[in-house]
Structure 1
Amino acid sequence: MKSLVRLAGWVGIVLLFPVLYLYAVSGLVAPVWAVVVLLACWLVLGLCAVRWVRRRPLVVLALPFVGVAFWLAVVSLGEILLGWTA
């Protein structure tokens, strides 16, 4: 059981890479400054994941989902409030 929990942390780290792809291709919709901010936020997520993988593996498993929700919120709010379009 403990090994499954530990594996969950590593799965969370692996799942952060597709989130990086989402953040990187946001330049199709968002301006450059917003993409830079998104990439900085992904870096924070990645650093937290690496730091927490042994102590809080289940939290690390949740980080990709938090990252996608954050990306969706930023892009949606940018579209609504700032007029970002593709």
Structure 2
Amino acid sequence: MVLSRRRRIRPVAIDPATGRRISPWPFAGLVLLVSSFFLYVASGLLAPAWAVALLLLSWLVMLVLCFAWWTSHPRWTVTLGLFSFVWWFAAITAGGVFLDWTA
């Protein structure tokens, strides 16, 4: 008995409405962006209220941008999610060094 070789097929998610392949990249970017939200909210322990409000506003802009890039640039959403961590760290560090934010 000769067994034929079977071709391995990678499972691909297909959108039933459009018939196009669903990319996992925007979901990964959104997970990164949402996970950084907790840092932005907890910034009240390190920064004054006006700075926390500006940080939350910048996070909201990044969230809107993530949804705007969802289908047009799905891989950019991951970069945006990583950037949200870098932006938070840079803003908190710069505020601590240059504006003397102390807890």
SS of alignment partner, residue 23 of structure 2: helix
Cα 1:5–1:56 shift into 2, 3 Å? farther
1:1-86 equivalences under 5 Å are 6-86=23-103
Runs of 4+ in 1 over 3 A off after TM superposition: 1-5
Q: Percent of pairs identical after alignment?
A: 34
Aligned residues: 86
**TM-score, normalised to structure 1's length?**
0.91
Q: Which has the higher helix share?
A: 1
Higher Cα radius of gyration: 2
What is the root-mean-square deviation in Å for CA atoms of aligned residues? 2.0
Gap regions ≥5 residues in structure 1: none
- Judge conservation of contact 1:27–1:35 (CA < 8 Å) in 2: yes
**TM-score, normalised to structure 2's length?**
0.76
CA distance in 1, matches of 2:35, 2:65: 17
